[in-house]
Amino acid sequence: MSATITKGSNLSVFPPEPWVLEKVVPRYKIMKGWKSPIQHLTDRSRLPAEFTDYVKFIEDSVEARVCLISTGVDRKDSLSSTKNSKAWSILTG
């Protein structure tokens, strides 16, 4: 998602001033959803392509790498990316 001021200029940072925020118009990006559940998935290769596209979109939007994805409430339901790799692994221990 990005935003513009009413007159059409793009914002590169979040404006803290309330009078500026009143004029901000969000721009949404519509993305494909995934139909298969990801709850309790621990195998990266089983994540739907639409889900990994969504994660990539978030990474590109915030200019930071997603390092942890939880697919359930237990620790074993989390996938972690290693520092030097884009591969995801199961958290253990």
What pLDDT score does 44 carry?
A: 78
| pLDDT tens for each residue of 35-79 | 999 998 877 788 899 999 999 999 888 888 888 888 888 888 888
- The per-residue pLDDT of the chain, averaged, comes to 80
Place of tokens 């009413």: 6
| Residue 84, pLDDT score | 47
Confidence of residue 89 (pLDDT cuts 50, 70, 90): low
The rounded distance, in Å, linking the Cα atoms of 73 and 64 is: 24
- Please name which of 28, 23, 21 lies closest in space to residue 1, comparing C-alpha atoms: 28
Q: What residues are paired with 2 via a beta bridge?
A: 27
**pLDDT tens readout for residues 15-39:** 888 988 888 888 888 999 999 999 9
Confidence of residue 3 (pLDDT cuts 50, 70, 90): low
Element (H, E) at 3: strand 2-5
Other CB atoms within 10 A of residue 2 CB: 11
DSSP assignment, residue 85?
-
- Quick one: 15 exposed, middle or buried, by C-beta within 10 A (0-12, 13-18, 19+)? middle
| pTM score, whole prediction | 0.68
